[in-house]
Chains A and B, each alone.
Chain A
Amino acid sequence: MKLVSKSAIFTLAVSLTLTSAAGTHKPASTGDPAPYVVDIKDFAFSPRTLVISVGSRVTWKNEDEEPHKLAETNHVFTSPPLDTGEGFVYEFRRAGRYEYFCTIHPHMTGEVIVESK
């Protein structure tokens, strides 16, 4: 597993209005700055494993009535608490395998595999 330095990463937390409950790891609309979407629903990340290429942005959207808070296991990224309808965007600028979990409900785990172009 290749680790990445925190300084190499650009993070952005935004509030989103959720428009789709069916998002998976397929690109959203053209021009969307965060074309990959991970749904947080029923206390699980969907997809649990997301494979993307370097430079991609991923958006997590909380569709639960519970808040969730993301943290990468090696502290590469951490989200603020995400209430219902809120989202978190992260841009992966280095290849590697990023494991993350919900710090409020730590049985919720997921991973993003970032492949070199």
Chain B
Amino acid sequence: MPRRIVYDHNHDGIDRRGFLECMAWAGTGALCTLSGGVLKSYALGDVGRVARDLATADFSFVQLSDSHIGFSKPANPDVSATLQAAIDKVNALPTPPSFALHTGDITQLSKPEEFDTAAQLLKGLKTHPIFFVPGEHDVLDGTGKAYRERHAMNPTGDDWYSFNFKGVHFVGLVNVLNLTPGGLGNLGPQQLQWLERDLSNVSSSTPIVVFAHIPLWSVYPAWGWGTDDGAQALSYMKRFGSVSVLNGHIHQTMLKVEGHITFHTAASTAFPQPPPATPGASPGPMTVAADQLRGLLGLTQVNFVRGKHALAVTDSTLAENGSKESRL
């Protein structure tokens, strides 16, 4: 049932009710559309539509996140199996994505054997290449050495990087190192300087996709779900007509629009976390009934359709036929 925004308190094109509806639908199958900053929401279950969109898109890519290989607590005793399920889901897509993103927390404790297990599993992903950014769990040594040895994307030695694909400019940012007491995610002045310079070479009509582990927007700072200097980074993107920010970290899908910038967080392939501000909860693993787990895990597909200025984000759960679509 289509529905328009009732209260837009923050003038950000999304109201509390719509936001909570999107939240409540994580993993249950729903469709959210955004057009001109107006959120509409529909019940879904229409996997066929996803397949049709994939067939007509200029290109698509998938986002995997928060695989936490090495985690074995009750919230999910077998995170390798659920990462494998996500890989199988990507491999089964009728139109293969052009590439994949992994937005961090590949491992639970940055252990070499955890990185190795993840790499072994991801070898089975038919979609290549995979572009990585680290999560805080991947850099527990404080330097990111173990991560960098395996997943360094930038020959300069920096962990951040950008690339172009079919007219879209992609930027991978790192906001999990050099964190400060009482703070949130952190990009740091060096990376911000690089970002400003990197974007200065890109025309305003070029669609921008930014991906990083911790949300660049303030989802819920009391739980550390935000980036201290994220607003500074986003200020460099105001002149662009289309900016999409893809994050992980919070283990649930969430959508927000501010002007030309759309924010989206992906589900985890490992375990769910509670919605922000859940009474009595903390931002750690949430144990649910075994038969509900895969409905709360998932992956994200993003389709670009040129000319229509459209970017379709589809969140698929690891449960049978679970999906949620957002057209931005």
Contacts and interface: CB of A to CB of B under 8 A. Distances in A.
Contacts of B224: 105-108
Mostly, the A contact residues are loop
A91 interface: no
Nearest to B280: A42
A65 B223 CA distance: 15
B284 A107 contact: no
B184 A43 contact: no
Interface string B268-302: 00000000000000111100000000000000000
A101 B110 CA distance: 20
12 contacts: A44-B282, A65-B73, A67-B109, A67-B137, A69-B142, A81-B109, A81-B110, A103-B142, A106-B180, A106-B184, A107-B224, A109-B182
Contacts of B182: 101, 106-107, 109
Contacts of A104: 136-137, 140, 179
Contacts of A106: 179-184, 224
Nearest to B140: A81
Nearest to B180: A106
10 cross-chain pairs, A with B, having the tightest CB-CB distances, nearest first: A101-B181, A42-B282, A106-B179, A107-B224, A43-B282, A81-B140, A65-B73, A66-B284, A65-B285, A106-B183
B75 A65 contact: yes
Contacts of B81: none
Contacts of B285: 65-66
B222 interface: yes
A59 B273 CA distance: 28
Interface in B214-244: 221-224
A81 B138 CA distance: 12
Nearest to A83: B109
B73 A84 contact: yes
B109 A73 contact: no
A115 interface: no
Interface in B114-159: 136-137, 140, 142
Nearest to B74: A65
A43 B181 contact: no
A69 B140 contact: yes
Nearest to B141: A81
Given A43-B283, A101-B181, A107-B184, 13 more contacts: A42-B282, A42-B284, A43-B284, A65-B74, A65-B285, A66-B285, A67-B108, A100-B181, A104-B136, A104-B137, A104-B140, A106-B224, A107-B224
A84 B108 CA distance: 12
Contacts of B140: 67, 69, 81, 104
A105 to B, nearest CB: 5
Contact of B181 (A83, A84, A109): A109
Contacts of A81: 109-110, 140
Interface in A51-77: 64-67, 69, 73
A84 to B, nearest CB: 7
